Amino acid sequence: MHQHHGRLRTAGLLAFLFAMVLLVGAIVAYSTQEPIFLFVFAGVGLFSVAYSYWNSDKIAIRAMRAYPVSRDQAPALYQMVEELAQRAQQPVPRIFISPQPTPNAFATGRNPDKGVVCYTEGILNLLTPRELRAVTGHELMHIYNRDILISSVAAAVAGFLTTITQFFILFGGGRGRGNQNVVALVGGLLAIILMPLAAGLIRSAISRTREYDADADGAELSGDPLALASALDKLENGISRIPLQEDPKHDAHAHMMIANPFGPRAKQMFSTHPPMEDRIARLKDMARQS
């Protein structure tokens, strides 16, 4: 595996997210004069992270209506996954297939021993075996790099920040006196405007960083960066034709997928995926260097 500067960036972004939680918590405690709320928030936040981490595979698989496949049902797919896992000297994940026609794939599972790789029927029909192998390398590296933990923490903390901000709106004002009310008002306005926006941007930045790293590590694992570049190009075009239907259950795990499942949304500010042209250019450059 490569040692990426992106991992240091991810750690810094997560630290900044937690610092934001502490800042908003301090504002709430100061304005309400109820320090107990900090402990309540902390407990709810830890529960959210733990629940998301332990159940990420079940939630995503259920949302995509995916079903497990056996070696007898998909011998070529199993052979490909096992070969790449052996090259990485890591456990072999379970394999699921989703009946979705939109071409995509994602990895989940709380650790390498509980890993899952899920392919949509759309991606199985679209890509060549060589391209599918490269995509599988990308997804395996999400598991082996423990990106599921990182994304679960980022999503939970971002959601927690929004919850704290909403709590402040409902209960944060009016309990203090004099200067305390001024601090509560100013802090509340800043929290309402900036915190959810900043949390969403940081969560998206973390996800984009992990995608770049999985591209590089996955291309190294498969030994075929050009095949991954070709697969990403096909996926972008395929998703543009058949995007995933937008609803809350799909929004919650869209960041797990190798390509933004909603097509044009990939270019939005809060996109959890880097620009596809940039990813493809990096992979082609990687191929030239090797």
Sheet (strand 116-120) strand order: 67-68, 94-98, 116-120, 105-108
Contact (CB, 8 A) for 273 and 260: yes
DSSP annotation of 257 reads: B
Strands 67-68 and 105-108, bridge-based pairing: unpaired
CA distances from 53 to 24, 152, 225, 284 (A): 24, 6, 30, 34
Gap between the Cα atoms of 225 and 185, Å rounded:
53
Q: Is 139 a catalytic residue?
A: yes
Residues 6+ apart with CB under 8 A from 120: 64, 97, 98, 99, 100, 101, 102, 103, 104, 105
C-alpha dihedral (108, 112, 118, 123), degrees to nearest 10: 110
DSSP annotation of 172 reads: S
Gap between the Cα atoms of 21 and 38, Å rounded:
10
Catalytic residue (one of 34, 82, 131, 139): 139
Which sequence positions are flagged as catalytic? 139
